Amino acid sequence: LSECLFFFVFLSTSFLFPLPMPPSVRPKAELLADIEQAYCRYDLDKCGYLTRRGYKLAFLSLHGTPPSKCELHSLFGAEGQGRILKPDFVSLMLNKAALWDEEDRRKHIFDAFDRQGKGFLTLEDLVWAFSQVAPHVKCTTIQQIFKEFDSWSDGRIRYSDFQKIFP
């Protein structure tokens, strides 16, 4: 069990390679640098502001998910013609980062494992995740990890099972 838990925790904490780390777990200086870098990268026309498209891309690069339609509408209006200046973008992203907590981090990791958005993890999901991060781990070990956390023994690790790993 301890070996299984070690591998599962290792995988969970290092799995987020395709998604940015939730803002709450980054040091503030690093977060600020990431925000400014995202702003510069997605100021697509290099005109000193973000368009709706640039904002969506910058937001996605920082949070791993696109902004809501409601948020985009409030920032850019119905026609999408608004603009976001750098100080406003930085302030907005820092405020959003402050809202992240450990539950968000847990959910972010679970969602990264659940590639199809089924709401649960299958053995196939776990095998794929390990192949990306720790390809040296044997399939039998992955199966043992999966069996340990599949509390209903139905081939699914639900979010409630996942929460027990990271109380």
pLDDT at 27 over 70: no
Cα distance between residue 85 and residue 145, in whole Å: 47
Instruction: Give pLDDT, residue 43.
Output: 94
Mean pLDDT of 75-85: 85
pLDDT at 21 over 60: no
pLDDT at 40 over 60: yes
Instruction: Give pLDDT, residue 14.
Output: 53
pLDDT at 18 over 80: no
Orientation angle between helical segments 102-113 and 2-14, nearest 10 degrees: 90
Which of the listed ranges 62-71, 88-97, 157-166 does the model predict with the highest average pLDDT? 88-97
pLDDT at 4 over 60: no
Cα distance between residue 61 and residue 71, in whole Å: 16
CA distances (Å), origin 86, targets 35, 52, 58, 89:
10, 14, 12, 5
Instruction: Give pLDDT, residue 12.
Output: 59
Its pTM surpasses 0.75: no
Cα distance between residue 117 and residue 137, in whole Å: 25
The DSSP code for 148 is H
